[in-house]
Structure 1
C-alpha cells in the first residue's frame, strides 16, 4: 500500500489519474475509502474490478486479499499502461490487467465478486456487471451520499439483470474517517430477463 501511495503521489497527477487537490488526501479519500469494500468480498476466488482507472479499489483489494485472484478491467490504454506499471512496481502477484469494457467480457469471466468505484449509475452498472458474476456471487459498488436513492431508482434494472437483495452498507476502515457507502447485490438463481 505504501508503494502504491508513493506511485500515486509521484505520477498520479502527471498521468491524469488524480487531480492536484487529491494529493494531500490520498490516504483517506482514496486508499482507505477503497479498503472499505474488502469486508464485503471473499478472501479467495476471482474478484473483477471494472473501470479500474488509477487502481482504486482494485489494487487496494489485491494488496489486502493476497489469496484472491484480482482482474483489473479498464478500457483506456493509458490507464492500462499505468495499471501494468503499478502491478510490476509493487510486486503484486495476484493481479491480471485486461484492456476491455465490462460488457465485452460477458462469458469470458465468472467472478465471485465484481467491484466498481465511480464508474456509472447503478442501473447501468448492474446491466454491465451482472453477466460477469457467478450464481451466488456479488456486485459491490462504492457510491456517494445518495446511494439509497440510486439503489431504489435502479431496482428494475437490478431485477432484470438477475440480481437480488440490493443493500446499502455504511462501511468505515479506521476511526475518524468518513464512512463509505457500499451497495451490494447478489446474483440470484433463475433466468435473467433481458
Structure 2
C-alpha cells in the first residue's frame, strides 16, 4: 500500500485492515493470473479499487443485506463485506472463472458466514427457481456494469419497495442521470440522485448514483397474435 494512503485505509477498514491487505494481495496475484485485474492496475489497487469501493459503505445502513450485481473480482461487494462486518453480502456473477475466484477468496479470507456467491445473471437471481427462492436485499450495488437504464432493469427487481440501488459511476454520472431518469422511473424507481462518497478521506471522492425502488412494475406480457378470418394467426406461414 502506498504510504500516503495508509491513513485513509485505516479510517475505512479499522481493525480489518489486514484482511483488506490480504484481499489486495489476492487481486494482485490470482486476480491478475486469472485475468480479473489488469497487470497495470496492481500499483493502483488501493487507490482505484479498494478505497474507492470502501467509501460507498457510508451510503449503506447498519445491518443491511447487500446484493452486488456483476461482482467480477468482488468490487465493491467483497470490499464492503471486509469494511462492514455487520453486512450480509451476496455476490452475483454469471461467469464461471470469476465465481470460482470469488468462492476461493471468500473462503481464504474467512468470510463464509456473511458472504455467499451466486453464479448467474441478476434476472435469474431475482426470478428464483424450483429449487431456490428469489434473491432480494435492502441494497443492491454495482460498479462499471452497464448504463443506468439497463442497470435499473436488472437491479430494481432485487429490491423491495424502499430498497436502494447504489451504483458506482464515473465522470459521466450526471449525464447518465439526465439521459436515463425517465426510463428508471418507468421501471419503478424514483428520480436518480448523485452523491459523492469519501469526501475528506479520498481524493477524488467516489461518485455514486442512487435509485430508490418506489413501486413494483410487472413486466408486460406479449400480446397474442390476432387470428385472421380464416382462423390462422397473422404472421403464420
Which of the five TM-score ranges fits, normalised by the shorter chain? over 0.9
Match runs of 1:41-190 below 5 Å:
41-92=60-111, 93-107=113-127, 108-172=134-198, 175-189=201-215
Higher relative contact order (CA 8 A, sep 6+): 1
Deviation at 1:178, TM superposition (A): 1.8
Q: Please say if residues 127 and 157 of structure 1, whose CA atoms lie closer than 8 Å, have aligned partners that are also in contact.
A: no
> What do residues 24-58 of structure 1 show as CA deviations (whole Å, max 9, x unaligned)?
00001000011121111122132000000010000
For normalisation by structure 2, the TM-score amounts to 0.78
- Which 4+ runs in 1 deviate beyond 6 A? none
Matching residue within 38, 56, 67 for 1:19: 38
Matched, 1:6 2:32: no
TM-score by length of 1: 0.94
Bigger strand share: 1
SS class of match (2:160):
strand
For the pair shown, which has the larger CA radius of gyration, 1 or 2?
A: 2
CA distance in 1, matches of 2:208, 2:114: 24
Task: Report deviation, 1:103.
Answer: 1.1
SS at match of 1:13: helix
Partner SS for 1:165: coil
Query: Is there any run of 5+ residues in structure 2 with no aligned partner, and where?
Result: 1-19, 128-133, 221-237
Q: CA RMSD in A?
A: 1.5
Q: From the superposition, tell whether residues 140 and 31 of structure 1 become closer, same or farther in structure 2 (CA, over 3 Å).
A: same
Q: What SS does structure 1 have at the residue aligned with 2:192? A: strand
Q: Tell me the CA shift for residue 193 of structure 1.
A: 7.1
Distance in 1, matches of 2:23 and 2:63, equals: 22
Q: Please, which runs of 5 or more residues in structure 1 have no aligned partner?
A: none
